Amino acid sequence: MAAPILYGLTNCDTCKKARKWLEREGVAHQFIDYKLNPVPADALKAWAKQVGWDKLINRSGTTWRGLMPSRKDPQTDAEYVLLVREYPSLVRRPVAVIDGEVMLGFTGGLYEKRFLASKASA
């Protein structure tokens, strides 16, 4: 297994928990703050192709709720990419990319299943 790349926001509590979990379990990883280093459009589209825009975009957060109603109905990949470029906080966090597979969010159980099982078989 290649080292996972964790995309998120430095000050996001869920991202902090995920990073601490990975460090505690000795899982080498790279962290990219996507406000400072925007995710390329092709990568966003690839993530959405795997998990769907409905799962990738956090519609329960304050950023979404603060959008004008006309911005809450993107129809194309290009419209979603533009929205994420303007409001990076809309992406559900963290996004972990492991060997091309996209994993959204963080729970200890989710990470144990993905990372510790891979570590044990290595």
What is the reported pTM? 0.89
**Residue tagged active-site, from 3, 5, 12, 102:** 12
Q: Compute the distance between CA of residue 55 and CA of residue 58 in angstroms, rounded to an integer.
A: 7
Q: What is the pLDDT of residues 60-75, one digit of tens each?
A: 989 999 999 999 999 9
**Which pLDDT does position 118 carry in this prediction?**
57
**Which pLDDT does position 115 carry in this prediction?**
84
Q: Is 5-121 a CATH 1.10.357.10 domain?
A: no
CB of 28 within 8 A of CB of 3?
yes
What's the rounded mean pLDDT across residues 20-29? 94
Q: What is the pLDDT of residues 84-107, one digit of tens each?
A: 999 999 999 999 999 899 999 998
Q: Is 15 a catalytic residue?
A: no
Burial of 82 (0-12, 13-18, 19+ CB in 10 A): middle
| Domain boundaries of the chain, sorted by first residue | 5-121
